[in-house]
Structure 1
């Protein structure tokens, strides 16, 4: 199988962890046109949104990390990564949903300031403070969700753990990790020791170390960061509407497919 991905993408990390947990071989590939919004080439043919991850299995191309994981779980049900009980399965999916939407957006917004320097001075300080405060809320929610269990799936590692792991780990990378000794911090220490997660986090660390040189591409127009759904919402509600307006003016941000006629894509 071919997996179009980026090592920093939390969505791609989630998929790689699951594929590795199930022992499924795959070839990771960073699309040459990633971040450009180009609509030509094999990447755009596989996913018109030109977003990672995309899983290509034989003649089928699947995008959206949750849809990918549904496909993987149904095609390769062993070992199961979703609980069999319908209520427990719903709880796991809700945990994944919050991570894919609210948590990812906060991490992404913090990265816009840290890595891509979308804001400076007082605005940067404000956005960092907003991200830190919202991260604490999300981590408290996850801690309550985990409770006294070892894993988010109960007594065994599961898909919810695969979804939470990249989010909490990026917070740790940003210096916004859970309180030492707390429920979520202990879970993070456990999860990072799993081979599937350790390999995925190592790829993240290697890519993060190169972000300083890559970030310039996204501030000069060589690449454009995609502002979509919860990400756009986060930037505006957190006080960063100036960031969005500047990105539109300088053509350094983009919006998802389909392309607006006569305007930004």
Structure 2
């Protein structure tokens, strides 16, 4: 009996979902995908909840098996489809790839998310916005310096070939590029230029560009008070908002009921 085609609960703008699409495409695994209706609104999404009670993407459906979290999904794909491995063979290189992924999925993702909250959702304006964006730019620079050490004189973060570590980095660096916070002449900027030539990367970021163009003029109104929509503030994102000067944004959002925390929610 033929195996069922993989199905991905997806959003083109999610860096986590981009990682999974990149891995599927690099491995040559066919899949279908769909953006769950109401994603990110804080409202019930029964179909997505079957795969992920946190109502976040990506979530992967393989027949009757459902999993969520990009790290878990990538590990599953490596184990089920070993014919084209993405992780390097050397144990130290594999551990390095996973450490890079951890930093990018937490601290780096939170910075990019925070920038969108300011520039897209307009949670801050004036001097506060300027100060928070200045903090974000400084933080990005620190992470890039850390990444440059890991890249060293290699062509790719994964070593001689594009792989897992590169997939873990490129969604975040590309978003920084779109925010005009990437030094294109730096080792990270030159690395991005190289990997953008790969078909999997091109396709994934063309999807991002299409989605961004559709939402850029309306995103600022999605989470206005009274819409009933609530943006999720969780873990490293919440930490970034507070440490970068946005504590009042959080408390105002709670009063306006247009932010929320992760599943399961409190009172």
TM class by shorter chain equals over 0.9
Q: How does 1:2-81 map to 2 (within 5 A)?
A: 2-81=7-86
Report the aligned-residue RMSD: 1.1
Write out per-residue CA displacement over residues 134-162 of structure 1, whole angstroms, 9 at most, x where no aligned residue. Answer: 01111111111101000111001111101
Would the aligned equivalents of 2:234 and 2:261 in 1 still touch at CA under 8 Å? yes
For residues 52-87 of structure 1, what are the alpha-carbon distances to aligned partners after superposition, in whole Å with 9 as ceiling and x for unaligned?
Answer: 100111001110000000000000012110011111
- Aligned 1:132-151 pairs, distance under 5 A: 132-151=137-156
For the 8 Å contact 1:227–1:255, the answer to whether it is kept is yes
8 A Cα contact 2:23 2:167, kept in partner: yes
Contact persistence 1:151–1:187 (CA under 8 A): yes
2:265 alignment partner, one of 245, 252, 259: 259
* 3-state SS in 2 of match to 1:212: coil
Q: TM-score, with normalisation over the residues of structure 2?
A: 0.95
- Identify the match of residue 238 of structure 2 among 232, 242, 259: 232
- Give the secondary structure class of the aligned counterpart of 2:19: helix
Asked whether 1:122 is paired with 2:112, we answer no
Indicate the residue corresponding to 2:229 in structure 1.
223
- Secondary structure of the residue aligned to 1:129 is helix
CA distance in 1, matches of 2:228, 2:201: 32
> Which residue is equivalent to 1:174?
179
Distance 1:167 1:40, change over 3 A: closer
Residue aligned with 2:38, SS: coil
Runs of 4+ aligned residues of structure 1 deviating over 4 Å after TM superposition are none
**Partner Cα distance (1:23, 1:128) in 2:** 39
Distance 2:144 2:46 in 1: 39
2:200 aligned partner:
196
User: What SS is found at the alignment partner of 2:36?
Assistant: coil
* Number of equivalenced pairs: 260
Where does the alignment leave 5 or more consecutive residues of structure 2 unmatched?
1-5
**Secondary structure in structure 2 of the residue aligned to 1:46:** coil
CA distance in 1, matches of 2:88, 2:17: 22
Secondary structure of the structure 2 residue equivalent to 1:77 = coil
Residues of 1 paired with 2:41 and 2:212: CA distance?
20
Deviation of 1:107 (Å) = 0.5
Secondary structure, aligned partner of 1:13 = helix
CA deviation vs aligned residue, 1:164-209 (integer Å, no higher than 9, x gap): 00000000000001x2322111110011110001000111111111
Post-superposition offset of 1:40: 4.8
